[in-house]
Structure 1
Amino acid sequence: MAGNSRSIDARGWLFEVEDADAATETWLPIAGLNSWSYSPGENEEVADTTSFDSDGAYEEDVMQRGASITLEGQYRIDKTTKARDVGQAYIDEDWTPRLGIDSHNRIRYRHETQTAWAIWDATMTPGEQSGGTNEKTSWSATFRRSGLPTSAAVTP
């Protein structure tokens, strides 16, 4: 069986943000990405359970799990209309200004070979946008999961 296994392309991952203001469930694809990073240990907290009975060995229990995803790419616009990419625009213009309980939004992601979306309630930190003389303008955002993830089947 090992002879049939293959690694998957990083460019096959799909990321979407939910438009929380839409009347019906609406997911906006995030375009222009050229890099992403998933950190399953983000915000993990442990309790030291070492005691005299541990015979000098460290022991712990995980008390909190977290995760984050950082997306990086290029600031995107439609070359005809000059309109912002809908996913990037929603993150920058609608989500970024929110504070407190309103700072939450949902994101979802999956690889194109997968049949279910991983869905997070998340908070978000916008990243730097920059560029030089012979470069494209960069775009990035980091999403931190709040609570446990859920999933949903991919529908046409």
Structure 2
Amino acid sequence: MQVKIPARDIILEVETSTDDTFVRVENLASVTVNPASNEESADLTDFDSQGAYEQWIMQRGASLALAGQELKDDTTGALQPGRARVEALAGEDALAAASHGRIRFRHPMDTEWRIWTATFSLGERGGGTNDPSAWAATITKSGLTTTEAVV
């Protein structure tokens, strides 16, 4: 039987360092996967195409857009572990190789994690007079997707 999958059930984790330890990215209100982000194509149209556009995909890409409310510990100001790691990977000093981290994501019924090496960018924060402060990040895949069985 085919069933609909609630978007809110996605499980998204970020690697804490390079030791294969992942933590959940907490309190997300929206996760949008764009499998065509950074895709590049080559125009193959020529006189023999009979007026029809022709192309090859030469580069695949993908990204995840995350959104939620900004959360901090009311005593220490500390972020939750998953959010703190995303912010560290998106920090102004995270350049070149330090800008890369790994994520994995899946829905509960999936038998494999999708794993990306990726770069991280923070989005806009804030809001209006009566809004909770917004938090957003974009995770952009760098390299090929790998998979791993869910244990």
**TM-score, length basis structure 2:** 0.89
How many residues get paired? Answer: 150
- What's 1:16 paired with? 13
Q: Following superposition of structure 1 onto structure 2, how do residues 87-98 of structure 1 map, counting pairs within 5 Å?
A: 87-97=82-92, 98=94
Q: CA RMSD in A?
A: 1.8
Shift of 1:80: 7.7
Query: Partners in 1 of 2:41 and 2:88 — Cα distance?
Result: 36
**Among candidates 33, 38, 50, match of residue 38 of structure 1:** 33
Shift of 1:95: 4.1
Q: Following superposition of structure 1 onto structure 2, how do residues 11-90 of structure 1 map, counting pairs within 5 Å?
A: 11-20=8-17, 24-78=19-73, 83-90=78-85
Query: Partners in 2 of 1:64 and 1:44 — Cα distance?
Result: 5
Query: Partners in 1 of 2:106 and 2:33 — Cα distance?
Result: 12
Answer whether contact 2:28 2:67 (CA < 8 A) is retained: yes
Answer whether contact 2:89 2:99 (CA < 8 A) is retained: no
Q: State percent identity of aligned pairs.
A: 45
Gap runs ≥5 in structure 2 = none
Shift of 1:25: 1.8
Q: Where do 4+ consecutive residues of structure 1 move more than 4 Å?
A: 78-82
- What's 1:137 paired with? 133
**Among candidates 122, 127, 147, match of residue 123 of structure 2:** 127
Query: Partners in 1 of 2:78 and 2:99 — Cα distance?
Result: 25
**TM-score, length basis structure 1:** 0.87
